[in-house]
Structure 1
Amino acid sequence: MLEIKRARHGDCRTAFDIRLQAIRYQCIGAYTPQQLDVWTSGAAEDGYCGLMEKHFYLGCIQGEPVATGMLDLERREIGAILVLPGFMQRGIGKRILDYLECLARDLGLVEVKLDATLNAAQFYRRCGFVGEQTAIYQSPSGLQLACIPMVKRLLRT
């Protein structure tokens, strides 16, 4: 059973490792090997921990983190829906996304946005996000990656 909890400082390296493994496994073919190398270089302490402590959630199975998700309320943005390769295709990413959308709705947001990686755009479309145009995502580290900006209206339940 998946438990979703707020990430804490001590979870930083674990969340960063989930990110590395998911990107290296899922994004092959959508981005060049050079882009993947730059994207997954560095360490958790290079700014990831600070971001993670503010906005991140962990999806855990039997107490072990297997997925991440981010909700930045100020930017009305969802991101970092990442799942360890051994746990992909089990609906975990969808459950994290649903949780974050529900949280955003409960906190008064009427829509959320995200920058989908090229390999994840279809997943987000199936989840109700809209967006077709490719843009360039500029990471804080200077990396530029093609992405698809998407938005979803959050319906009241």
Structure 2
Amino acid sequence: MLKIKRATPNDANAAFDIRREAIRSQCIGAYTAEQMALWTRGKAEDGYSALMEKPFYLGWIDDKPVATGMLDLDNREVGALFVLPQFTGRGYGKAMLDHLEDVARAREIGEVVLDATLNAASFYRACGYVGEQQAIYHSPSGLALACIPMRKRIG
């Protein structure tokens, strides 16, 4: 069973590693090798570690972090939902998403949004999110990636 805990600044490197491995494994075919290389370069200290100050969570199996997820309260946005490749298909992504939605509900947020990667849009649709139109996500590092903006009423 996935145990979800609030991340601390000490979890930044583990969270960054989960993100990198998930992108490199699960985004093949949806994005070019060059895009994925640019998207996953660097290290947590390059800005990713600042996300630990938000409601950022790690999902643990035994003593190993295997999933991440974040809720940006200012924008009502779900983000950073990643699962290590060897742990996909076990419901851990859904468990993390459910947890983030529960956090949003507890803060009386009635609707959440997200920018789904092209490979993850069907997962989010299966979880009740709606959105079909492709857009461009502009990352803080300047990378532009195709995405599908989605939303879900949760309140």
Q: TM-score range by the shorter chain?
A: over 0.9
Cα drift, residue 69 of structure 1: 0.3
1:12-53 deviation digits (Å, cap 9, x = unpaired): 100000000000000000000110010011111011001133
Cα drift, residue 54 of structure 1: 2.0
Q: Which residue is equivalent to 1:37?
A: 37
Unpaired stretches in structure 2, ≥5 consecutive residues: none
Q: Could you say what secondary structure the match of 1:105 adopts?
A: helix
Unpaired stretches in structure 1, ≥5 consecutive residues: none
Q: Which residue is equivalent to 1:136?
A: 136
Q: Which residue is equivalent to 1:49?
A: 49
Q: Structure 1: how far apart are the matches of 2:13 and 2:117?
A: 22
Q: Structure 2: how far apart are the matches of 1:126 and 1:105?
A: 20
Q: Which residue is equivalent to 2:96?
A: 96
Q: How many residues align?
A: 155
Q: Which residue is equivalent to 1:125?
A: 125
Q: Structure 2: how far apart are the matches of 1:52 and 1:22?
A: 18
Q: Could you say what secondary structure the match of 1:142 adopts?
A: coil
Matched, 1:10 2:17: no
Q: Which residue is equivalent to 1:58?
A: 58
Cα drift, residue 55 of structure 1: 2.9
TM-score (normalised: structure 1): 0.97
Structural RMSD (CA): 0.7
Q: Structure 1: how far apart are the matches of 2:100 and 2:68?
A: 11
1:140-155 → structure 2 map (5 Å cutoff): 140-155=140-155
**AA partner of residue 146 (structure 1):** A
Q: Structure 2: how far apart are the matches of 1:104 and 1:55?
A: 10
1:78-124 deviation digits (Å, cap 9, x = unpaired): 01110001100000000000011011011110000000000000000
Percent of pairs with identical residues: 66
Q: Structure 2: how far apart are the matches of 1:34 and 1:56?
A: 28
Q: Could you say what secondary structure the match of 1:57 adopts?
A: strand
Q: Could you say what secondary structure the match of 2:41 adopts?
A: coil
Q: Structure 1: how far apart are the matches of 2:53 and 2:89?
A: 27
Q: Structure 2: how far apart are the matches of 1:55 and 1:42?
A: 23
